[in-house]
Amino acid sequence: MRDIKMVFQRHATRKYCAVFLFVFTFLQFGGASPAFSADMQWWEGKNRVQVFSELLKEINAYSTYQCKMKIESYDDGLREASQILWYTQPGHMKIKQLGPFKKGATVKIESGGRITARLGGLLGILPVNVGPDSSLIKGITGDSAVLSSYQAIINKSIEREPGVKEFTINPAPDKNEIVVVYKMAEPISEYRFTIDTDRRIIVALERFRGDKLSSKIVWSDVRFGKDVDESEY
């Protein structure tokens, strides 16, 4: 009887140790593999609209931001432009051209819809009220300045849903970036977004006509909130 009792005691001890080990492991790792809880994979399992909606939610969380945009157009030979953009909720925007395209020109877009433009150089003394399709506020790609904000670019991508034929998400050379690609019919057949997965912002956009690169935008020096500086405007 004593031997049988000792066997049961050893069995119970092993059982309690196993339960303790399971509970400790569960608490230590949150009951799940770390690979599935990593926030850097927020895009996994999402469709295109969900990915861009997440970007829109993130950018709208800030009351104000600024960024530099380097723009290149290749349709009629290489053309280049650089600009600084300031955005304040709920839709107030200012843009200054750094050159070479329209160097010194500025655009102010008020949330109520009023648009004021100043030309660069001596012609930029007086502001001019213009419409959203005025040539005075169109860039080298032919797009209006009103479509320059993160919000406008993201919303346009969401609105294109009916015409999207193919959508993929691929890792970028930088481990903190992904490339979101969607393909459509002509004239612009492919949009290729590079996204910073930590900050959840777009850092580059390439547009293709067929297999030919049509234009490229690269964002840099993106600042939010108290880090925004409008002294250069």
CA dihedral 100, 101, 105, 108 (to 10 degrees): -130
Q: Domain check: are 101 and 19 in the same one? A: no
One domain, residues 28 and 92: no
Domain count for the chain: 2
**Same domain, yes or no: 32 and 8:** yes
Checking if the pLDDT of 57 tops 90, the result is yes
> Residue 123's pLDDT is what?
63
**Residues 194-211 pLDDT 10s:** 999 999 999 999 999 999
- 48 and 20 part of one domain: no
Q: Give domain status of residue 202, yes or no.
A: yes
Domain match, 13 and 52 both: no
Domain enclosing residue 29, as ranges: 2-37
Q: Per residue in 88-120, pLDDT tens?
A: 999 999 999 999 999 999 999 998 999 999 987
In a domain, 11, yes or no: yes
Go through 101-136 and write b for each residue having 16 or more CB atoms within 10 A of its CB, e for each that does not.
Answer: bbeebbbbbeeeeebebbbeeeeeeeeeebeeeeee
pLDDT at 12 over 70: no
Q: Is residue 164 part of a domain?
A: yes
Q: Do 67 and 144 belong together in one domain?
A: yes
Confidence band (pLDDT; 50, 70, 90) for 36? very low
Quick one: 11 and 121 in the same domain?
no
Cβ within 8 Å of residue 69, ≥6 positions away: 82, 83, 84, 85, 148, 217, 218, 219
Please report the pLDDT score of residue 110 as a whole number: 96
Same domain, 12 and 70: no
Instruction: Examine the domain organization and report whether 213 and 169 are in the same domain.
Output: yes
Q: Is position 232 within any domain?
A: no
Is residue 231 in some structural domain? no
One domain for residues 217 and 115: yes
What is the rounded average pLDDT of the residues 206-228? 97
Look at residue 126 in the predicted model and tell me its pLDDT. 83
**How would you classify the pairing of strands 212-224 and 92-100?**
unpaired
Q: How confident is the model at residue 142 (pLDDT cuts 50, 70, 90)?
A: very high
7-11, 59-63, 177-181: which range is least confident on average?
7-11
Residue 85 and residue 143 share a domain: yes
Domain presence at residue 207: yes
In degrees and rounded to multiples of 5, residue 173 shows phi and psi of: -55, -35
Lowest mean pLDDT among 24-28, 37-41, 70-74: 24-28
**Lowest pLDDT segment from 21-30, 78-87, 88-97:** 21-30
Q: How many Cα atoms occupy the beta-carbon half-sphere of 114 within 13 Å?
A: 6
233 in a structural domain: no
Token pair 């880090």 is found at 227
Same domain for 173 and 123:
yes
Rounded to the nearest integer, the mean pLDDT of the chain is 84
Q: Looking at 27-36, 96-105, 172-181, which range is the least confident one?
A: 27-36
In a domain, 103, yes or no: yes
For residue 139, give the CATH number of its domain.
Answer: 2.50.20.10
Number of residues that make up the chain: 233
Q: What percent of the chain stands above pLDDT 90?
A: 67
